[in-house]
Amino acid sequence: MGLPWYRVHTVVLNDPGRLLAVHIMHTALVAGWAGSMALYELAVFDPSDPVLDPMWRQGMFVIPFMTRLGITNSWGGWSITGGTVTNPGVACFGFGAFHLLLLLELCDGDGIVRADVPFRRAESKYSVEQVGVTVEFYGGELNGKM
């Protein structure tokens, strides 16, 4: 017996950092499983008779789905169709660069991190002094004891 999907999301709903971390970890687990299964299937694949003994008859699951989705080229530059791959890493680089630029927009010149995420609006500036840590909040109020 497990928790339903909406129960898991309500646990981390008001903490955007944990919500994002949970989804990134889930994506990493699924990608890791798919990658390791693809390597295993590639190791046991027998391409001697693709008509009478295709991938799906050999118990393959991941590689046929990857090819059905159109994933035929690798980032390393090889292709299962035998064609030449030009600029294999451009899409990955562009995706990462876009997200880095998006994250850089969260910080202004004063070193204040401004995060505007659903369910929480917070602006904070941290400074460490000799007596301890001082936390100043802008645009909100601090609930609790310091």
pLDDT single digits (tens) 102-124:
555 555 555 555 555 444 444 44
Which pLDDT band holds residue 96 (cuts at 50, 70, 90)?
low
More confident site: 70 or 57: 57
Q: What is the pLDDT of residue 45?
A: 80
What residue type is 9 in one-letter code?
A: H
pLDDT at 145: 46
- pLDDT score recorded for residue 130: 43
CA pair distance 34, 97, nearest whole angstrom: 25
- Angle 134-138-144 from CA coordinates, rounded to 5°: 60
Statement: the pTM of the whole predicted model exceeds 0.75: no
